[in-house]
Each structure stands twice: as C-alpha cells, then as structure tokens.
Amino acid sequence: MAKIGLFYGSTTGNTVKAAELIRNEFGADMVDMVDVGGKSADELKKYDTLILGTSTWHWGGLQDEWALFEDNLTGDTLEGKNVAFFGLGDQKRYPDHFADGMGLLYEKVKAFGVKVVGMCPKRDYKFEASAAELGDRLVGLALDEDNEPQKTAERINKWVRQLKKELGVE
Ligand SMILES: Cc1cc2nc3c(=O)[nH]c(=O)nc-3n(C[C@H](O)[C@H](O)[C@H](O)COP(=O)(O)O)c2cc1C
C-alpha cells in the first residue's frame, strides 16, 4: 500500500508522542510523519490516506501550528482521499471543549469529498461537550495524556487495528 501521511502539530510534545505510537503500530515503513509547522499544501498532495493529529488549546482552539496550516485543507488538496483524525485533550480541565481540535479539522474537511475513517465511540470518555462529537461517536481517536496516559497505548493499538480494517490494509 502507498504510504500514509500522518500530519501533526504539537506544543508540549504529547501529540508527537502519540503520532510515533500510531506510526509504530502501523509499521514505521508505512507512515511518513509530517510536522505541519512551516509546511505547504504540496505535502498533503503526496498521500492518498491522511491521518491528521492535533491537540486542543485556548479553550476550544486548534494547536498553534495547525491554526497556521489549516487553510491548506482544501477540496483541491483533499478530494478522494481517506482521512482519519486523532486529538489530544484534557477531559477534566476542559470538559466543555474536550479534544475540540479534531472536530475543527473534521468540520474543515468534511465537505471536500473525503472518506472519513477511524471514528470512535465516545462512551470511553467523561466530558460535557466536544466539537468532535457526532451523535454517540467522536470523529476520531481522542487521547488524554493529562488524565489517562495509561490508556493511550491500548487506545492506539485498537484504533490502528480498526483503521487497517477500514482501509483494507493487511
Ligand atoms: C492553556 C491550555 C488550554 C487548553 N485547552 C484545551 C481545550 O480547550 N480542550 C482540551 O481538550 N484540552 C485543552 N488543553 C490540554 C491540551 O490539549 C493537552 O495537554 C494536550 O495533551 C497537549 O498536547 P501537545 O503537547 O501535543 O500540544 C489545554 C491546555 C492548556 C495548557
């Protein structure tokens, strides 16, 4: 299978750490990790399958590098691609904005003829509201390194297995 592009933005390193675990779970040779900082839309065009990972900052906002990069997410760069999302957040401190960032990315790309893969049930988390909610699901994988770091590896393991199935890999 062609390589997957895993695009991430991270302020204190949690999203990078999760990105590395996701890459390793797929197999390091299957995934290119791309820090969105300073990148252009051409990077996105190289891949048929994208994994977009962001943390949430500023009470419901995108991570800073993502906020600069998000305008590169256009129909021209994304049409026909598979897209998955993961988001780092803090359920306890920001229960009304949990992992909003990945919801903002989803809202940005959903109209562009993409196939969204990797949605997850929200019952595994405790929060009041999230921009990433879609009925009883979240638009992607939420991770909480502030309160549940012990769950991260298992969540990623399960999610990558789900993604492989949805993408028809293996
Ligand atoms: C000032 C500040 C604002 C934050 N705002 C949110 C938020 O609105 N929602 C949320 O779920 N997490 C929020 N967080 C938690 C971060 O998203 C979380 O710590 C994440 O793991 C950071 O990942 P990063 O190091 O990759 O940027 C906030 C953290 C700080 C310090």
Domains and CATH numbers, the chain: 4-167 (3.40.50.360)
Report how far ligand 1's centroid is from the alpha carbon of 56 (Å): 5
Give 66-125 pLDDT, tens digit per residue: 999 999 999 999 999 999 999 999 999 999 999 999 999 999 999 999 999 999 999 999
The DSSP code for 140 is S
Written as six digits, the tokens of 109 are 């790309």
**Residue 15 alpha carbon, nearest atom of ligand 1:** 26
- CA of residue 51 relative to chain centroid, distance: 6
Give 72-87 pLDDT, tens digit per residue: 999 999 999 999 999 9
Residue 65 Cβ inside 6 Å of ligand 1? The answer reads no
Residue 11 Cβ inside 6 Å of ligand 1? The answer reads yes
